[in-house]
Amino acid sequence: MKRTLPRWLLAIAAIDALGLGCVLVTWALAGGGEGGMGPYLEAVGHAAVTPGRLLLYCAGIAAYSALLELGLRSLVQEPIARRTGRLAHLAVPAAALAYALTHAIYHPAGVLYAALLGTGTALAYAWLRDWRPLALWHVQWNALAIGGTLILALWGPGDPRDAALFAYKAEAIERGTLVHAPGWGWVDRTHLPHEQLDQALAWTRGLPGDPLVLDAVLTDALGQRTPLAHTYALPATARDARHAWALSCAVVLDFHARHEQAQADQPWWTGTRLSAFQFDDLPSVLRACLDREPGATPAALTTDLADLRTRWHREGHDLVRTPIVVVDAPSAVREAARELARGPAHPGAPPTVR
C-alpha cells in the first residue's frame, strides 16, 4: 500500500494537469460555443436547472465514469497489452481511440480533446495496470468539470454563464413560461406584473400623499429568501384613465428595475447575478404595461413549442449575452416618473424609468 498509494496520487495529479491543458487548448482553438466546449457547458446547464436534476446528473456521470474505465481497461487495453509482438504496442492508441469515440456525440473538437486525454489515461494504466485509480480519477475529473462550470457560470459573464442561461431559458420554453410576441420579442410570463399593476391603478385613485408599497421576494440558489419592498407616494390623484395608467406603469417599472438591481448586487455565489437584467425581464414588465394602456389591444403570444424551440436555437445564444438595464418607456410614463419624483416625499430614490 505504501508503494501503490503515491503512484495512484501521482498518476491522478498528472492526468488532471494534462486534462486541464487539453481543456485550455480546446477552448483556445475551438472556443466555448457549439463548435468547441459549448456542448459540455450546456449539458451541465441543463442538469443544473433544479437541484434534484443536478444530483441525479452527478450520480449518473460518476457511475458512467467508473464503468467506462472498467470497460476500457478490461475489454480494450488489457487484452491487447497481453499479446506478444507488435500488437501489444497498439494497446495505448486503441484505448485512446475508444475513449475519443465516446465523445463523438459532441463535436470533432470533443474527439480531439478526448483523444489527447485518453492517451494520458492509457499511459497511466500501462504504468499502474490497475483500473481502479483510473476510475477514481475519472469520477473526480468530471466532478471538477461540473463544479468548475457552475462556479464560472455564477462568477460572471462568459461562455459558461451564457450556456447555463441558454439551457435555463430553453427549460422555461418547455414549461410554457417563456413565449414570443410577434413584432415585440420574447416574453417571460413570470415577469408579467398584473397584480402589481392592479394595485398601482387602485392607488392612483387615492389622495395626494397616499403610500403605495410594492414588494417581492428575492430567492437565491441556496434557497435563501430576501424580502424586497419600496414605498411610493401619490403626487396627485390621477386626472383621467391615461394618467392613472402612466403613473401605475412608472412605479411598477421602477420597482422591477430595483428588483433586477438587487439581484445584480448579490454576491456571486448566490446565483442571482446569473439572470439579472436578462433580455426577457424588464421588457416583459414593459409589455404588460403597454397591454394595459387604455384602448390598447394586448399583444398576441406565440405558444407553439416547435416554433419556439426553433426560434430559441436561432436567437437564444445572442440574447443571453446582452443585458437590458433600461427600457424605453412611452413618453407619458416617463413624464409620470418625473411627476412622482417631484411629488410628496417618499423613501428611497426617485423612479428610474427612462
| Residue 15 pLDDT level (bands cut at 50, 70, 90) | very high
- Check residue 1 and give its pLDDT: 42
* Spatial distance between the Cα atoms of 260 and 3, rounded to a whole number of angstroms: 56
Whether residue 149 has pLDDT greater than 70: yes
Whether residue 148 has pLDDT greater than 50: yes
Q: Render pLDDT for 192-208 as a digit per residue (tens, 0 to 9).
A: 999 999 999 999 999 99
Whether residue 31 has pLDDT greater than 90: no
Average pLDDT of span 252-269: 94
- Check residue 337 and give its pLDDT: 92
| Residue 220 pLDDT level (bands cut at 50, 70, 90) | confident
Q: Which amino acid is at 174?
A: E
Going by C-alpha positions, the residue among 96, 145, 83, 84 that lies closest to residue 125 is 96
First to last CA, the chain: 70
Whether residue 260 has pLDDT greater than 50: yes
**Dihedral angle over CA of 186, 191, 195, 198, nearest 10:** -60
Beta bridge partner(s), residue 228: 216
Average pLDDT of span 223-241: 92
- Check residue 3 and give its pLDDT: 53
The phi, psi pair for 33, rounded to 5°, reads -90, -160
Q: Render pLDDT for 159-218 as a digit per residue (tens, 0 to 9).
A: 899 999 999 999 999 999 999 999 999 999 998 999 999 999 999 999 999 999 999 999
